[in-house]
Structure 1
Amino acid sequence: MKKHTSTEAILLLEDGTVFRGKSLGEIGITGGELCFNTGMTGYQEIFTDPSYYGQIVITTVSHVGNYGVQHKEVESEQVQIKGLICKEFSQHFSRNTAEGSLQGYFEAAGIVGICEVDTRALVRHIRDKGAMNAVISSETTDLEELRKKLAEVPSMVGLELSSQVSTAITYELKPDEVKFRVAVLDLGIKKNIINNLVSRGCEVKIFPYNTPYEVMEEWNPDGYFVSNGPGDPAASTDAVRSVQQMLEKNKPMFGICLGHQVLAEANGIATYKMHNGHRGLNHPVKNLITGRCEVTSQNHGFVVDGDQLLNHPQVEVTHINLNDNTIEGIRMKGKPAFSVQYHPESSPGPHDSGYLFDDFITLLEQNK
């Protein structure tokens, strides 16, 4: 691909809708599932979140790139999104601590994007029509060629993607004073989740997505953590099998996002693809146990089927979304296992939900 020069770019949606704008990042063609994030800050954390793998992100904030990039704000070691759509893309940045521009960052990562698009019209369109695939091109504006490229983009339904973002090797991180050992099943984990565990005294060993349960148990952990990640949870059959075995062992288990959905699937509760997912920093969630409400950071396109949780003998609902009443948290009855759909590690986002890591620590203390 050629290096970036300001040029015409085109966005072609699965339903045939076309938007035109200017190129950003690399000159080329990219495809993925469209989704929008309503956060006003934290774009670098969003772009490096493995849960966005396979997706083209629309940012609803007016300006992107204005504060540059710095390495300490990444959630993984590479850009995970397939492309970016925004209104105003800033080639320059004003933050003194920034290590470079977002344009340079995208060029180095080979990310194709489009700016100067009416993002309000685009978001309203997919809000009504539902999530769909799309292609961005700054290489050609030939619609017939782009339709062929679009036809090659796989549907997110039934797609297993943890294998694309999980660690390839097992590794360990530990605090100065180790209180607990936690085995982490990496389905696409964010760095700040690991930071939250380590800062609370957990030595963590991070295992690849398809690690057999027996291999993790050989390390003799005090508990298990099942991470966030991309793709259809129903396709994460290896993870579902491992979680079922974790539950039989009766050790504390905590799941976030895809880990939450996998816990549901492990209990025979189905998940389904939403008309449009939840992605942003201001989603209201009610904790049904305490009665308190939280402002949460979210990123998911699938959700646990609430109807199948009614009167479930092993699982109860702990959190609900106040916008649409979808399931945001569950826990096992009689077992030290729980999960949430949203992101209590707050990267980016508010810190209302950090107590969930403390709840996990309490379970580890009670069961050690």
Structure 2
Amino acid sequence: MSQFAEHHVKGSEVFVGGLPHTVTESTIHEIFSHCGEIVEIRLIKDQKGSIKDFCFVRFATKEAAEKAVREKSGFVLDGKKIGVLPSKEQDTLFFGNLNKGWSTYEFEGIIRQVFPDVISVDLASPVGETKSIKQRNRGFAFVKFSSHAAAARAFRVGSKADFMLGGNLHPAVQWVEDQPEIDPAALAKIKIAFIRNLPFSADENYLKKLFEPFGEIEKVVLWRKGSSPVGFVHFTKRADLENAIRGMNGKTVQWPRGGPTSMLSIEVARPIDRSKKRLRDDSHEKKANKVPSHTPSANLGIPLSSDCTSGSQKVAQKEVEYEDPYEVAVLLLPLSVRERLLRILRLGIATRFDIDIQNLTSLKKLPESAAISVLDQEQTKKTEEFILPH
């Protein structure tokens, strides 16, 4: 529908599963129309053109979608109960294996020629100075579309074996995992700038000097343990942070003492979901004053020492004595940071040798939102190394 992009409202789409293969769009419309105005119905077909047993329904409002979930889940259609759930609305795709000689202008032109409904293109710039015309980017990009439907169509096209960009290049196309929805009130209180594309020669003093014209700064923190440094500038006022982002995001900086140039990427540091953290912290409150002496090895993907066995007080003391220092360092991290780290380890994106005990000590010193941003940056780097050819 031509009006689809105009009516795109976050949370307004539902997933409908358990459909009979004979279902039609008019049947779906009849079932869901009393929940609210329907903007689009997408019946999914297989390669042979047969209707699959699920579809997506997008409404004009989030309230209509919520009503559909409440009232239509369990509805019997042709003897089958259907299920209705909120749709996971991914609208951004990762493109890897790109020509590193493409400029942002060239890549955006190519993408917009192939795919309609592109909102923005974020081509990863090289870190530090590069004089070679052969490397104008790092070989990957993130493309945001006007809707999940538009992104899904692009994903289907981009996943075909014969799909080419620029005439002769087959990219790796993947969905980008959605970021958790942020409470606008919490986001508005953040006064920390998260800065990427820093060279290894960057230092806190020069970074502070760059941002001082925008307002009073409490402190500057540099994280050097990942694949490339990232920085955090703590302002005393939110307005100063916003001015700094407007003034410095995308700006090319010449670093001192013969250092390289780099184009800064600046955004608001993401806040922590305090409600989830509180719920989990409350359940472990009784353990807060001591380091747990034993954690199942499955949690970390790290074997525990054979000496770490349960039993008498004497054995328990011995267990602490022989506890893996890496596990202890992980357990001492704030809960939200620990969970993000464990996810990276479980997925095999990195190992304890990539993120060593010194890294964990540095993570513990950072604010939670900053530590999570660092881990997200490391995850992106490792994903790039895995997907892109060397």
TMscore range, shorter length: under 0.3
The TM-score with structure 2 as length reference comes to 0.23
User: Which has more helix, going by share of residues?
Assistant: 2
Relative CO higher for 1 or 2, CA cutoff 8 Å, sep ≥ 6?
1
The TM-score with structure 1 as length reference comes to 0.24
